Copies of this chain bind each other. A is one copy, B any other.
Amino acid sequence: MKNDAHKTQAALAQALFEPKTVALIGASGDPKKNTSRPQRFLRKHGYTGRIVPVNPGRDEIFGEKAYPNLMAVPEAVEHAFIMVPREAVAAAIEQCVAKKVLTATIYSDGFAETGEEGRRMQEEVMAIARAGGVRVLGPNCIGILSIRPSFALSVNAVLEMDHIKPGPFAIVSQSGSMTGGLLSRGLGRGAGFSKLISVGNEADIGVGELTDMLVDDPHTGTILLFLETLRDADRLAYAARRAYAADKPVVVYKLGRSDIGQDLAASHTGALAGADEVADAYFRAHGMLRVEMLETLFELPALIAGQKPARRHRVAVMTTTGGGAAAVVDRLGTFGVDVVPPSDRVVDNLAQKKITIPRTRLTDLTLAGAKKEIYSAVLAELLASDHADLVLAVVGSSAALHPQIAIEPIAEADRSGKPLAAFLAPHAETSLGLLTNAGVAGFRTPESCADAIRAWRDWTPPVEVPAADAKMLAAAGMLLKTMPGKQINEFDACKVFASLGIAHAETAVIAKPEQAAGVGFPVVAKILSPDILHKTDAGGVVLNIADGSALQTAAKEILARVKAKHPEAKINGILVQRMEKGLAEVILGFRRDPQVGPVVVLGAGGVLAEIYKDIALRIAPVGIETARAMVDEVRGLALIRGYRGLPRGDCAALAQAVVDRVNDAEINPLIVKAEGQGVVAVDGLIVFRDN
């Protein structure tokens, strides 16, 4: 962003989180009503600015002078909180425009989250706000909370609590009703907070922009996102990259793992939820960490505080309870996390201190090792050793009864070398609190502990976007311009791929059966017609044609069969293509995801990708390293593992072409030939964007 934009954003943040004057439009003086809460909460939690209740029926509410409308307020108002019925919201925004209010938070609901009529009303409200220069949070937003300086502008009942511990955690949540649960859970684990924002329907200010503001918030050290969908993926990507650079981890809990989860997210926020694999790829590409479990949101940050993503991910595990440690390690195993035995040096160094540890992957000190001097010596050795990149310490019954044995050594350990995770086998709230206060990542369940270590393993720096070859891109662009219609046939699609450097099977189109194709035999012949989708069903395909005379026969038969079955179909000729054999078939697709934009998908060929969801997916474009990693991920390609990669053409250019004009592009099948012989596109499809 340019400097001006940054200044504008800073001003918006100021108005959102620390306005000098806030107006409460629709404030109630009846303590039983939800609309009375913001005024009470603001004062209760120590807001020192001016509160202006706006309510035409009251002169005064809870001791503050009330005004019939915003225009009657004598001083400037930076922030308005709107709690009037849906039908009155547009008028309230009009008042904000007239009063030059910087930002309005709309609590009122019944908008896009409820269906088409609500969506239309939301658009009306937003048109007024946009035209008048009022930035909007919501509608359907339960409120926002800033701890330092205190600004509790919310209807959330959770603010009935007396004290909210200040600290580095900021939460941005697409679920308003869940913000209270998140705050309560975090506080229950000893976490402290800077800000808590419910975004409602995100008609204007969204998760991305708020995340960007939090990067600049001096009180925020970790940004936690509770997401149901992605509405401003580009903005969030930009903010996440800034957060990464500023050493403020962005940790995401996102619904939508299952189809039903996606449905729910859609129905209760009015958002279109996308495929979850795309979201995974998106978070990773931009340096965010995604957790699978709710508790991990609060337990993970201490594990990565002050860290950057590690280059290797070897985990050393020490414990006095083999069973407790195995509960974590077993799950790590299902995630493919590498658990390593101690190095010779670790074993030798400890032996010099008369401490014997096994050479197995689990450094189990057993009950006999449940002594402070042993526990701390082993822990120090593992933390200092370069054979492992993270240490997991699992504590047995002593965590509940004798914190001096293992909890103290863990809290006091020198963690400068690498991350340290501690799982406590018993119910040990006090010890968890000790660890939190010491800045150590303590875990209450073996599952969230494994989830956090898995998230650490998956954490990568924001990926660098490879530049497309400008010449190839231009050539493909020219070619695409010459191709009319909504979709282009396989012959033309292969030409486009060729212009981007991807070899395709030798191909020609013949107009009549007797025409020579000039393609090396054996060949396959296929009917070329925009009107016939299922060529094989139409009798329009003959495989394995050995010579010219056989081709002529085959072409005649194809035309006869197709004409009989589809007399109305427009026939553009017969496609003749050299039969290609290879080691494997893959599908290579580029697709514009409605939420995050272009993605690249590599899948096992045939029905495998579909039945077994055997695909690798990344945000497009990808560089060669990423492409190799994708080949490794596809299980069905195990047989050709080690084969050196994807098409040698310019994948970046292909992806860029997709961005510019194309909605979907798919090469299927792409034949992977023997080593050194490359890959060959056999069939393809390009679908243009609606413009």
A405–chain B nearest beta-carbon distance, Å: 9
A638 to B612, CA, bound (A): 11
Residues of B within 8 A of A334 (CB): 257-258, 261
A261 touching B333 by the CB < 8 A rule? yes
Distance to closest chain B CB from A335 (angstroms): 8
- Bitwise interface map of A from 251 to 282 toward B, beta carbon under 8 Å scored 1, else 0: 00001111111011101110000000000000
Q: Which of B268, B327, B361 is in CB contact (< 8 Å) with A322?
A: B268
Partner of A401, one of B157, B322, B607, B614: B157
- Residues from chain B with a CB closer than 8 A to the CB of A425 are 177-178, 180-181
Output the least CB separation between A255 and chain B (Å). Answer: 5
Task: Chain B residues near A181: list those with CB within 8 A.
Answer: 321, 323-324, 396-397, 425-426
A614 nearest CB across to chain B (Å): 7
Bound CA span A173–B321, Å: 13
Q: Say yes or no for A11: interface residue by CB 8 A criterion.
A: no
Residues A324 and B447 in contact in the complex (CB < 8 Å), given A263-B361, A611-B638: no
A308 within 8 A of B: no
Q: Is A348 engaged at the interface, CB distance under 8 Å to the other chain? A: no
The reply to whether the CB of A507 lies closer than 8 angstroms to some CB of chain B is no
Cβ of A360 within 8 Å of any chain B Cβ, yes or no, is yes
A293 near B: Cβ within 8 Å?
yes
- With A175-B321, A396-B181 already in contact, the answer to whether A255 and B327 are too (CB < 8 A) is yes
Are A362 and B267 also in contact (CB < 8 A) when A331-B257, A426-B158 are? yes
For residue A156, CB closer than 8 A to chain B, the reply is: yes
Please tell me which one of the listed residues B258, B269, B329 contacts residue A261 in the complex, with CB atoms under 8 A apart.
B329
Q: Given the known A-B contacts A181-B426, A446-B294, are A156 and B397 also in contact in the complex, defined by CB atoms under 8 Å? A: yes
Per assembly, the copies of the chain total 2
Contact B264 A329 (CB under 8 A): yes
The smallest C-beta distance from A256 to any residue of chain B, in angstroms, reads 7
**Minimal Cβ-Cβ distance residue in B for A424:** B181
Q: Which B residues touch A638, using CB under 8 A?
A: 611
Given A185-B426, A362-B264, A611-B635, A326 and B255 contact (CB-CB distance below 8 Å): yes
Given A260-B329, A326-B268, A401-B161, the answer on whether A320 and B185 have CB atoms closer than 8 Å is no
Docked-complex contact B260 and A361, CB < 8 angstroms: yes
A187–B294 CB distance below 8 A? no
Q: Name the one of B156, B157, B258 contacting A330, with C-beta atoms under 8 angstroms.
A: B258
Complex-state Cα separation, A264 to B323, whole angstroms: 9
Looking across the interface, which residue of chain B has its beta carbon closest to that of A180? B397
- Chain B positions within 8 Å of A292 at CB level: 447
The contact of A264 among B158, B326, B445, by CB within 8 Å, is B326
* Chain A, range 436-484, C-beta contacts under 8 Å to B: 445-447
In the bound complex, CA of A327 to CA of B185 (Å): 14
Tell me the minimal C-beta distance from A117 to chain B in angstroms.
15
Tell me whether A640 is interfacial, beta carbon within 8 Å. no
Bound CA–CA A428/B267 (angstroms): 28
- A398 CB–B CB distance under 8 Å: yes
Query: Does A184 have its Cβ within 8 Å of any Cβ on chain B?
Result: yes
- A226 at the binding interface (Cβ < 8 Å): yes
The answer to whether A428 and B175 touch across the interface, beta carbons within 8 angstroms, is: no
The minimal Cβ–Cβ distance linking A430 to chain B, given in whole angstroms, is: 12
Interface pair B362/A321, CB less than 8 Å apart = no
As a 0/1 sequence over residues 633 to 671 of chain A, the CB contacts with chain B under 8 angstroms (1 = contact) are 001101100000000000000000000000000000000
Contact sample, A vs B, 26 pairs, CB 8 Å cutoff? A155-B367, A157-B397, A158-B397, A158-B426, A174-B323, A177-B320, A177-B367, A178-B321, A178-B323, A184-B397, A184-B400, A184-B426, A185-B427, A189-B427, A260-B339, A261-B326, A264-B330, A267-B361, A268-B326, A268-B364, A292-B447, A294-B445, A294-B446, A447-B447, A611-B636, A612-B614
Q: Given known contacts A177-B321, A294-B445, what 15 new A-B pairs fall within 8 Å (CB)?
A: A34-B367, A177-B323, A178-B322, A180-B396, A184-B427, A258-B331, A260-B330, A260-B339, A264-B326, A264-B329, A264-B361, A268-B362, A293-B446, A294-B327, A612-B635
The 5 closest A-B pairs by CB, nearest first: A175-B323, A258-B333, A261-B330, A188-B427, A181-B425
